Structure 1
Amino acid sequence: MSAASGRERLGAAFWRFWSVELATGTGVGLAIIALQTMLVEDLGGGAAEVGWLAAARWLPYVVLGLVAGALVEGWRRRTAMLASDLARAAILGALAAAWLLGGGALWALLLAALALGAASLVNDAASQAFVPRLVPRPLLLAAHQRLDLGANAAQSAGPAASGALIAWLGAPVSLLVAAAAHLASAVVLATMPVDEPVRTSRPPLWRSIGRGLRFVHRHPRLGPFARWTHAWFLCNGAAMTLLVPLVLTGLSAGPAGLGLALGALGAATLAGTALAEVVAGRAGEARTIVLSRVGSPLGWALVALPALAPMAPPAGLAVVVAGLVMAGVGMGLGNPSEMALRQRATPDAMQARMNATMRTANRGMFVVAAPIAGIAADALGLGPVLAVVVVGFALSAAGLARSPLARRRAR
């Protein structure tokens, strides 16, 4: 399909939204490396502190995720995204100013991460539920593939650019650039013409949350998919936490090396996303999802090697990058099919609650895994803990392959 025919099928409103997601992804990619570098290099944090930072970022998803999903159902989703972008720009700008003025401290990083997580929670609940209002359901796979292509491109370029920017001008400047990206997203949203319905009557909040939970976990296919996806997020939360000290201190690669590693992960995810529609067209969405999960244990086994068998830093970083490429291709391959399968199975009035239900448990796994993995790595070493994570990835892939999701072809 040509680029012109893709634009014609998905419509102008979708492509405006695509540009919003691109700007947001750029801001996230820039900010993540800056926050982690400030923690490790400016404050001397180790694996445990990196785990606490990750947990702070995702804690709002656990505490407020279900509430946010139920509330967003009654709001205009564009308004929720606009407010989130403005809030994230303000938080990042304030943290950068505090750091430049000499007010850098662990509590400030954790508080900023917590506030960023809360703002991102609102954005995620609204943005994922916004897509089915922009494109017809038969085009959801194509829409999510293109959204993922843009997001992965931003998140692959963002860490690499952030690493170079930090080395040149410092982490606070990277935060300011991330804030500008969120402001650009807000400008596009503010000028985006969308006619959104607002529900005039809603059930009580807790009843609405309960309906969302029952819908997901009693669904014959979404239920098993959700449970094995939660297991994958538990492993991924631990793995991504351990990657930071492995690259920054274990391999002495610095922020540029971490930016390179995360940039490679983003680029590989982008490559997998580019193949997603073709593979799903031949194998079906469900089998594509299962296939994508196999890349995680294989890729992270490579990442674990430099932690288990000492290597020279350049060789170790090359092995880590190769493993992240393998894992990233799998992630990119599966996500458009996952989103299309979830949203086709869900009525519009349940979209935000379905997304919030899935996301709350997924991010909850991250909140649990990140600090535990960091503490375990400080006590036992990075290598043994990464080996356990690889086994967990393998079990989650095998469980999904044997679940009802994989037993019939889904398009």
Structure 2
Amino acid sequence: MGDALGAARRSSFIRYWAGASISSFGSAVTAVAMPVLVVQLLAAKPFEVGVVNAAQFVPYALLGLVAGVYTDRWRRKPILVWASIGRALSLGAVPVLWLFGVLQIWMLVIALLLFGAFSVFGFAATQSLLPRLVPRARLLSANARLDQTDAAAQTLGPAVGGALVGLLGAPVAIVVDSISYLVDAALNASIHVDEPRPARTGNIGFEIREGLKWTYRHRTLGPLAVSTHIWFIANGAAMTVLSLLALRSLGFSAFTFGLLLTAFGITSLIGASLAPRLGTWLGSGRVIVIARMAYPIVWLLAAIAPPTVVGGVLLFVALSLQGLAMGTENSPEQVLWQTLTPDELLGRANATRRSGNRTLAAVGALSAGLLVGLIGDRLTLLGVIVFRQVKVGHFGAKNQATAARL
């Protein structure tokens, strides 16, 4: 009986893992296609680039806390399935509008707002379902495996995306991502998981407050949540500047931009592969702290990159370092939240912090789009570094001292 149960759980995890990997591949293609569509085909202004980058994150501010409550109230598997279908339809509208010659920036923003709304529920359910699929003792290895395949998709996806954009155009390349979400939905629908319907139907406001209290007042998780919020506002700004810097200031082609993201994917894969061993050796908290020390170096290298071959090389080095840091820290951070949070609070804790993260990423993207138009891309990146260091100076001692104990 135990062997049969174990085999069923392994089979379900493999389907869950396959679906996540396929959708990650599609997203990696879109990571190349979307900036090309916005910057080159639609000739967006810097602020419009920021608006587009922020659009998919805005729903986290509006829906994130409510999504957490319903992720704890509803079965998580159906949420995953319908969220993937919704994302497929939202993205699929973009190439259809382009085909009819009517696509405009505001239409793209609406499509990404819808995409973000489905993503709010999808990601809350994704991070909350995994502990039901694998024993908690194996969560680090399971998260690392997901990170490894995600990084592998980000390695191959941008190269394929750059080639597809060059051959067929950015709108057609986005179709790949839309199809990947449909496959993800089908695989998740086939998962077998013991998931009884939660009986709780209490006051939504109370349950939101309960999630907020757990997320921000927890002795260990609270400082980690604040530190991650700071990272997201800085990274949201930096990645908005990156597309403008690479595609305009440095004159990258779609294929070269795809190679840049491929370099990021390769080092993310390396980092994700190292994460379980480093987490065991140093502790999850120290791995997170060390990884986050790399980001200001990344943005500084990008800020000083001249519009020459040397500048292109510096940008490749910067994104490679970013990939290594992100790949290394992600699975230890996920494990901390999944192991320290009770299952009945996991949906709200995941949605609460993700709501804060994505809301601040939107703020960072919008701010960067505005600042690039006023002071240029390089000064904006330097401003991101200063902002991050000031905030880390304010929160850093508590964050690092807490994280080091984990």
- Settle same-fold status: TM greater than 0.5: yes
Contact 1:228 1:399 in 2 (8 A): no
Deviation at 1:83, TM superposition (A): 0.5
**Alignment CA distance shift 1:134-1:207 (3 Å):** same
CA–CA distance in 1 between the matches of 2:283 and 2:263?
A: 27
Deviation at 1:403, TM superposition (A): 1.9
Contact 1:220 1:404 in 2 (8 A): no
Give the unaligned 5+ runs of structure 2. Answer: 1-5
Alignment match, 1:353: 348
Alignment match, 1:201: 200
Contact 1:60 1:121 in 2 (8 A): yes
Alignment match, 1:112: 111
Match 1:317 to one of 301, 312, 316: 312
Alignment match, 1:77: 76
Structure-to-structure mapping, 1:208-247, within 5 angstroms: 208-247=207-246
Runs of 4+ in 1 over 6 A off after TM superposition: 7-10
Cα deviation code 1:145-195 (max 9, x no counterpart) = 111111122123222211110110011211111111111111211222222
Cα deviation code 1:72-112 (max 9, x no counterpart) = 11111111111011112112222211101211211111111
CA–CA distance in 1 between the matches of 2:403 and 2:174?
A: 46
Cα deviation code 1:280-299 (max 9, x no counterpart) = 11111111110110111112
**Alignment CA distance shift 1:191-1:127 (3 Å):** same
Q: 1:141 and 2:140 equivalent?
A: yes
**Alignment CA distance shift 1:404-1:113 (3 Å):** closer
Contact 1:290 1:400 in 2 (8 A): no
* Counterpart code for 2:47: A
**Alignment CA distance shift 1:265-1:116 (3 Å):** same
**Alignment CA distance shift 1:396-1:231 (3 Å):** same
Contact 1:238 1:389 in 2 (8 A): yes
**Alignment CA distance shift 1:261-1:71 (3 Å):** same
Cα deviation code 1:369-406 (max 9, x no counterpart) = 11111111111011111112123344556666522553
CA–CA distance in 2 between the matches of 1:98 and 1:91?
A: 11
Q: 1:376 and 2:375 equivalent?
A: no
* Counterpart code for 2:356: A
CA–CA distance in 2 between the matches of 1:355 and 1:94?
A: 29
Structure 1 stretch displaced more, 124-133 or 180-189: 180-189
Structure-to-structure mapping, 1:131-170, within 5 angstroms: 131-170=130-169
Q: 1:294 and 2:290 equivalent?
A: no
* Counterpart code for 1:280: G
Contact 1:247 1:257 in 2 (8 A): no
Match 2:337 to one of 334, 337, 342: 342
CA–CA distance in 2 between the matches of 1:10 and 1:51?
A: 42
Q: 1:29 and 2:28 equivalent?
A: yes
Q: 1:326 and 2:321 equivalent?
A: yes
Alignment match, 2:45: 46
**Alignment CA distance shift 1:267-1:9 (3 Å):** farther
CA–CA distance in 2 between the matches of 1:10 and 1:77?
A: 16
* Counterpart code for 2:90: I
Contact 2:224 2:403 in 1 (8 A): no
Q: What's the Cα RMSD here?
A: 1.9
CA–CA distance in 1 between the matches of 2:100 and 2:403?
A: 59
Report sequence identity in percent: 36
* Counterpart code for 2:312: L
Alignment match, 1:3: none
Cα deviation code 1:263-295 (max 9, x no counterpart) = 222221121111001111111111111011011
**Alignment CA distance shift 1:324-1:9 (3 Å):** farther
SS at match of 2:382: helix
CA–CA distance in 1 between the matches of 2:266 and 2:49?
A: 24
SS at match of 1:200: coil
**Alignment CA distance shift 1:18-1:207 (3 Å):** same
SS at match of 2:251: coil
* Counterpart code for 2:307: M
Alignment match, 2:250: 251
Contact 2:227 2:399 in 1 (8 A): no
**Alignment CA distance shift 1:385-1:10 (3 Å):** farther
**Alignment CA distance shift 1:383-1:405 (3 Å):** closer
CA–CA distance in 1 between the matches of 2:387 and 2:276?
A: 28
**Alignment CA distance shift 1:236-1:409 (3 Å):** closer
Match 2:380 to one of 378, 385, 388: 385
Alignment match, 2:12: 13
CA–CA distance in 2 between the matches of 1:346 and 1:364?
A: 22
Contact 1:135 1:143 in 2 (8 A): yes
CA–CA distance in 1 between the matches of 2:17 and 2:343?
A: 20
CA–CA distance in 1 between the matches of 2:108 and 2:147?
A: 28
In the alignment of these two chains, the number of paired residues is: 401
Deviation at 1:58, TM superposition (A): 0.3
* Counterpart code for 1:262: L
